[in-house]
């Protein structure tokens, strides 16, 4: 520093055990901020900053930068830096942290206030994901007391992405974070397929929440009057339409979820039947009866299996899977519950029972879970077992104390212990050592202190509703690029967010650290088709070689990929990706048959949608014009595919190139 102070910045804070002087300052501490934000024009008290690279326990590099204008030269360029070294490195199958190379605009977003919703718009390669993960680490540091109890939820676009980022936060010492995608957002449900785009668009509409609500309502006393109950004693009670309507109204006034109100319904219904039987016994008209008699008789009726069957008919326990399967598997039910949909939309939604759950089904299931609530019976049984176990523990503890008292009582009769049976039993119980992340993953109704969503432009309105349910405080960081959205609802952030979020702040990332300028120039042509008003992020480096576009015979495509992949894997330690339409992938995967497992670990196959958020040293994009229909969604997917490479891009095609690349 300009006052001769010298500080060392690292992933965590370390202190001298004797003097308590700081040896290492946590990168998130206020003192560290100048390391990331200082420039020759605004040095912020910094004279020199250095980045120390290591391999194992050996120092491998020291990159120093002088922050004075005279040292920087007239252009303000600071020469080779740790940033350039980092962005030029080979990629692996796991993302690494960027603690040493956080840039000024990234630092501003990482340290932004926690309150409210922050939207971070950034083009390809601008470090959106890295910023999101480091923001998670920062808010946990800055708001430790609150977030260590509530946790932070990070939502990624797919399981591949979660594996890619899985090591970043543990390397920063954070374990109060839950990583998930929509595929596994709802405990007990794993979505293993993607719907076609038009189906996903309909399922993601906010209107569908009302359709789910209507489906739940149809499970609440669904029978018509008169409804006859014949008990095991052969006594009969007949309920008319007024009885059924009164029951339904009384239950809905509790405002409890459907399943969670079941115990209340059982009590109310048994009392109704008990009162009716007592009041008409031996009489032609109903008369008032003693409330205590009603209570006692209702308890006896709890053992009547026929009455239990009637309760199951009138107020059944329903799972989210059962509700949504029924709704989407029955055209008539769907028409009754979703009058806001036209015939074409309803045809798109009808599914068969054996297709499995899709990602766009999960928000529907989550909506159902919120309206239905948990089945209360397992929890009631668990509480009963716990009470019984506590009673056994107390009985055992009292026996120990009695034995101890018998053998240690003083001659004068005084006892040698001041411990109660409850205290002794409590000492033997194991404390719950689960982390906040482990507890949050096990509770479907858990609400988080902060939620971070990567590739947020892919959220449907109903998916956003599901996430808002998990953070009532609306403390969100939404990271994405609206120009990479593959959904019809993602034309701009306001269209996506305003119906459910009244206000949000917006920040922008403008520098591309991943994509070489030669590749970005090609991608910029596609961006101009998507939105002529948008500018591509500025690449900070050149690869020295432009993209290669080759027309090949369709039959030779697999051979071409095999040759290129083999050569790359022999010459490099980096990662190699083949991106193509999902229809082509099974055939293209044969290109790497026979490769050693160590090489296959560095090869990735996927569609443009699968590739979102990922990056690779070399990318081969196959048949970008495979699908003849072209719209904004197809242009956005092409934009994604073109911007995954950090070093080299090759396009192989036997079909004509898409219009966005015409004339290249």
80 labeled binding residue: no
468, 469, 470, 493: which is closest to 480 by C-alpha? 493
3-state secondary structure of 367: helix
The reply, when asked if residue 355 is annotated as ligand binding, is no
Determine contact, residues 52/166, Cβ cutoff 8 Å: no
Contacts of 180 (CB under 8 A, 6+ apart): 153, 154, 155, 156, 162
> For residues 384 and 380, what is the distance between their CA atoms, to the nearest angstrom?
6
Under a CB-based contact definition with an 8 Å cutoff, are residues 153 and 452 in contact?
Answer: yes
In the numeric block, the tokens 């990602």 are attached to: 359
Spell out the residues 6+ positions from residue 370 whose beta carbon is closer than 8 angstroms to its own.
257, 469
Cα separation of 118 and 111, whole Å?
A: 11
At residue 214, the 3 state secondary structure works out as: helix
3-state secondary structure of 227: strand
- Token match 């797919």: residue? 158
Cβ(251)–Cβ(264) under 8 Å? yes
State both tokens at 647: 């070093």
Six token digits for residue 86: 């980092």
369, 209 contact by CB (below 8 A): no
544 is in an annotated binding site: no
Contacts of 550 (CB under 8 A, 6+ apart): 560, 650, 651, 652, 653
Q: Is 546 annotated as a binding residue?
A: no
Residue 461 among known ligand-binding residues: no
Whether residue 376 is annotated as binding a ligand: the answer is: no
Q: What is d(CA 191, CA 183) in angstroms, rounded to the nearest whole number?
A: 5
Q: Which long-range contacts (CB under 8 A, 24 or more apart) does 94-97 make?
A: 94/163, 94/164, 94/166, 94/167, 95/129, 95/130, 95/133, 95/164, 95/165, 95/167, 95/168, 96/167, 96/168, 96/171, 97/11, 97/130, 97/133, 97/134, 97/168, 97/171, 97/172
Was 122 annotated as part of a binding site? yes
Exposure string over 51-62, b if 16+ CB within 10 A, otherwise e: beeeeeeeeeee
Report the distance separating Cα 171 and Cα 96, nearest Å. Answer: 9
- Kindly calculate the radius of gyration of the chain based on its CA atoms and give it in whole angstroms: 32
Q: What whole-number distance in Å separates Cα of residue 617 and Cα of residue 611?
A: 13
**210 is an annotated ligand-binding site residue:** no
Signed CA dihedral, 80, 82, 87, 89: sign only? positive
Q: Centre a 10 Å sphere on the Cβ of residue 535 and count the other Cβ atoms it contains.
A: 11
Selection from 640, 528, 513 nearest residue 577 by Cα: 640
Known binding residues for ATP are: 122-129
Known binding residues are: 122-129
């Amino acid at each position: 520093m300009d006052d001769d102070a010298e500080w060392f910045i690292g992933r965590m804070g370390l202190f001298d055990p004797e003097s308590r002087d700081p040896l290492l300052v946590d990168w998130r501490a206020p003192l560290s901020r100048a390391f990331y934000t200082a420039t020759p024009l605004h040095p912020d008290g910094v004279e020199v900053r250095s980045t120390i690279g290591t391999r194992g326990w050996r120092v491998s590099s020291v990159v120093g930068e002088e922050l004075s204008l005279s040292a920087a030269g007239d252009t303000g360029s600071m020469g080779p830096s740790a940033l350039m070294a980092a962005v030029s490195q080979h990629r692996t199958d796991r993302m690494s942290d960027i603690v040493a190379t956080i840039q000024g605009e990234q630092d501003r977003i990482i340290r932004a206030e926690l309150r409210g919703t922050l939207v971070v718009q950034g083009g390809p390669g601008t470090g959106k994901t890295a910023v999101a993960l480091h923001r998670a680490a920062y808010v946990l540091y800055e708001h430790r007391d609150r977030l260590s109890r509530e946790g932070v939820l990070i939502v990624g676009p797919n399981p591949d992405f979660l594996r890619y980022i899985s090591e970043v936060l543990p390397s920063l010492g954070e374990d109060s974070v839950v990583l998930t995608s929509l595929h596994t957002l709802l405990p007990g449900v794993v979505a293993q397929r993607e719907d076609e785009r038009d189906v996903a668009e309909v399922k993601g509409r906010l209107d569908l929440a009302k359709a789910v609500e209507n489906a739940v309502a149809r499970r609440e006393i669904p029978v018509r009057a008169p409804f006859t109950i014949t008990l095991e004693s052969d006594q009969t009670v007949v309920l008319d339409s007024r009885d059924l309507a009164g029951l339904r109204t009384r239950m809905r006034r509790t405002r409890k979820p459907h399943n969670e109100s079941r115990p209340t319904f059982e009590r109310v219904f048994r009392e109704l039947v008990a009162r009716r039987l007592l009041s008409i016994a031996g009489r032609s008209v109903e008369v008032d009866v003693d409330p205590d008699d009603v209570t006692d008789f209702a308890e006896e009726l709890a053992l009547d299996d026929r009455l239990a069957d009637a309760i199951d008919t009138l107020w059944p326990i329903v799972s989210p899977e059962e509700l949504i399967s029924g709704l989407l598997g029955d055209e008539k039910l769907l028409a009754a519950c979703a009058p806001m949909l036209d015939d074409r939309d309803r045809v798109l939604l009808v599914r068969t029972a054996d297709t499995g759950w899709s990602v766009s089904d999960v928000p529907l299931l989550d909506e159902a879970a919120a309206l239905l609530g948990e089945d209360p019976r397992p929890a009631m049984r668990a509480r009963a077992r716990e009470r019984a176990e506590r009673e056994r523990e107390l009985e055992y503890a009292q026996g120990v104390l009695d034995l101890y008292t018998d053998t240690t009582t003083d001659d004068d009769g005084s006892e040698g212990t001041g411990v109660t049976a409850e205290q002794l039993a409590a000492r033997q119980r194991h404390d719950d050592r689960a982390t906040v992340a482990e507890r949050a993953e096990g509770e479907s109704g858990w609400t988080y202190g902060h939620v971070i969503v990567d590739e947020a432009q892919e959220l449907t309105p109903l998916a956003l509703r599901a996430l808002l349910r998990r953070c009532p405080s609306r403390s969100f960081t939404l990271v994405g690029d609206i120009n990479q959205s593959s959904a019809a609802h993602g034309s701009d952030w306001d269209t996506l967010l305003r119906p459910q979020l009244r206000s949000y702040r917006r920040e922008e990332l403008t520098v591309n650290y991943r994509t070489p300028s030669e590749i970005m120039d090609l991608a910029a042509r596609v961006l101009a088709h998507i939105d002529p008003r948008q500018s591509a992020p500025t690449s900070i480096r050149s690869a020295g070689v432009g993209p290669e576009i080759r027309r090949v015979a369709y039959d030779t495509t697999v051979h071409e990929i095999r040759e290129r992949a083999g050569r790359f894997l022999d010459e490099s330690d980096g990662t190699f990706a083949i991106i193509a339409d999902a229809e082509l992938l099974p055939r293209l995967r044969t290109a790497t048959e026979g490769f050693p497992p160590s090489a296959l670990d560095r090869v990735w196959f996927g569609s443009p949608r699968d590739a979102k958020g990922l990056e690779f040293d070399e990318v081969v994009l196959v048949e970008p014009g495979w699908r003849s229909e072209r719209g904004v969604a197809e242009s956005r997917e092409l934009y994604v595919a073109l911007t995954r490479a950090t070093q080299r891009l090759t396009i192989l095609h036997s079909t004509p190139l898409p219009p966005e690349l015409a004339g290249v």
